[in-house]
Chain A
Amino acid sequence: MKRTHSRIIMGATLGAAAIAVVVDHTRQRLPEPHKQLASQEAVIIIEEGEEIPTPSGECGTSASPGRRSSPCSL
């Protein structure tokens, strides 16, 4: 493949990717500030005698949107 062909393909790809990002950003805005806060910290209330949950031991539950608490975000 000639260098010119490589450049055309890469340019088209980068252009398409940029359009996709713009479309996605327009359709799905940034989360509300309170959700962003929730993504930083998650408070878990544990009843007496209950085992301490290990959110990092599995993919996580819908209760915690915290990036840091889920190995699935690696």
Chain B
Amino acid sequence: MKSVTARPASNQLAVLFSSAAILAISLYIQQAVSGTQYLTFVIGVGLGITLLHAAFGFSGGWRLFIRERIGTGIRAQLLLLALTSLLFFPLLGQVFPSIQASAALAPVGTSVIVGAFLFGIGMQLGGGCGSGTLYTMGQGQVDMLVTLTFFIVGATLGSAHLHWWLSLPGYASFSVIQHFGWWQALLAQSLLLAALYALVHRLELRRNGLVKPVEWRVPRQELAQRLLHGQWPLWWGVLGLAGLNLATLLVAGYPWSITYAFGLWGAKIWSAIGGDPGSWAYWNTGYPRLSLNSSVLFDTTSVMDFGVILGALLAAALAGKYAPAMKLDGKRIFTAMTGGLLLGYGARLAFGCNIGALVGGISSGSLHGWLWLVAGFCGAIAGVYLRIWMKIDKPLGAPS
């Protein structure tokens, strides 16, 4: 075990800027929009801090497991799914009738399979998922700025094509809570997640001879320093993300999602430069039409995304990790562009990313979340081989 680590030097200017920005935006949203929207912004800030301090990502964890059968990240994600389901299922099963909350339900069809597969490839090429792109961008990684820009382009293109994809074979949305009852569905889902956890554990043990636990302890003398400056054990990340996702469900009325906002930003930019996204079928329906014709501060997902970016910026500054020096060559720019496009297009087709569809869908009992997991993981395997083919990574089994 490591001894007491030296306190990282904070980036004071970035701490000052991010704190001032968070305070000013909070006050403005509270006054000009609503108290609810203010709360969702604050929750977003908390999510950004949690994601960065715990370094809680999906794409890196999946790649590490596919390449080297190191499953710490995936097991943490399974714990997150189990804990969030435990919190969501009773609420969505109307155990507390006074609480009005909605599940992240979406159709189960071709668009989800294709979209999640493309998203899985995009995760590996772009270097981040929905949450990962946001918080690493907030950390000041310039390559993720390229990924996010093309994420927005891809999501906008996806919104133009979604109605065609929805005409392909598929089924209506399916809620396991509505069909089986909340506790029966929770029991079955918990068993399935436990079986997946055991499978990952077994594969890891067979390949590597040992299994690294999902950490939760820190030495007592480091507690305050680690809480403020990071790095958090993965278990803290699991608890923080599950708790803040619950807060989102209670405050906003639906689970945390990220990528809807990217399509909205893209459509607004397209509209500002003379395009007419309002003529596309997607932006001419229900909530998308309302949000396109309203201030961006009206959209909860956008406001939460702003919070995540600023929260990650604050956390990175506190940890002394803001705007790291990095190598940005032509190949990295190319993979960031193609990865971003695939992430955005895939997320729109699949009704969300790893947060809105995978975590939100599965934790609120939507079958499309499970379909997303299978198709997204297959896409990630394809993405890992693409990285080897493009000579970004060494071949499987090669000494590192």
Binding site for B on A (CB under 8 A): 1-3, 5-7, 9-10, 13, 20-21, 23-25, 28-31, 35, 39-40, 54-74
| Shortest Cβ distance from A59 into B: residue | B285
Q: Are B288 and A56 in contact (CB under 8 A)?
A: no
Q: Mark B257-298, 1 if CB is under 8 A from A, else 0.
A: 101100000001100100000000110111111110111111
Contact of A65 among B166, B286, B327 (CB under 8 A): B286
For chain B, residues 289 to 338, give those with C-beta under 8 angstroms from any C-beta of chain A.
289-291, 293-298, 300-301, 306, 322-328
Contacts A2-B325, A13-B145, A73-B287; is A28 near B352 (CB within 8 Å)? no
The secondary structure that dominates the A interface is: helix
The 24 sampled A-B contact pairs (Cβ below 8 Å) are A3-B324, A6-B142, A6-B323, A9-B145, A20-B269, A24-B268, A24-B272, A29-B295, A35-B290, A54-B173, A57-B173, A62-B286, A62-B289, A64-B286, A67-B253, A67-B287, A67-B300, A68-B253, A68-B254, A73-B257, A73-B286, A73-B301, A74-B260, A74-B360
Which chain B positions have C-beta within 8 A of A29? Answer: 294-295
Q: Are B294 and A72 in contact (CB under 8 A)?
A: no
Which chain B positions have C-beta within 8 A of A64? Answer: 286
Chain B's nearest CB lies how many Å from the CB of A39?
A: 6
Q: Are A72 and B360 in contact (CB under 8 A)?
A: no
Which chain B positions have C-beta within 8 A of A21? Answer: 296-297, 306
Once bound together, how far apart are the Cα atoms of A51 and B327, in whole Å?
58
- Judged by a CB distance under 8 angstroms, whether B168 is at the interface is no
Q: Which of B104, B301, B323, B328 has the most CB of A within 10 A?
A: B323
- Judged by a CB distance under 8 angstroms, whether B106 is at the interface is yes
- Interface size counted on chain B using CB atoms at 8 A: 55
Q: Are B323 and A68 in contact (CB under 8 A)?
A: no
Once bound together, how far apart are the Cα atoms of A3 and B289, in whole Å?
41
Q: How many A-B residue pairs have CB under 8 A?
A: 140
Chain A's nearest CB lies how many Å from the CB of B359?
A: 11
Once bound together, how far apart are the Cα atoms of A28 and B269, in whole Å?
13
Once bound together, how far apart are the Cα atoms of A70 and B288, in whole Å?
9
- Judged by a CB distance under 8 angstroms, whether B33 is at the interface is yes
Once bound together, how far apart are the Cα atoms of A46 and B360, in whole Å?
30
Which chain B positions have C-beta within 8 A of A20? Answer: 269
Contacts A31-B298, A74-B360; is A3 near B325 (CB within 8 Å)? yes
Contact of A24 among B32, B142, B295 (CB under 8 A): B295
Q: Are A70 and B287 in contact (CB under 8 A)?
A: yes
- Judged by a CB distance under 8 angstroms, whether B51 is at the interface is no
Which chain B positions have C-beta within 8 A of A13? Answer: 145
Contacts A58-B107, A71-B106; is A10 near B287 (CB within 8 Å)? no
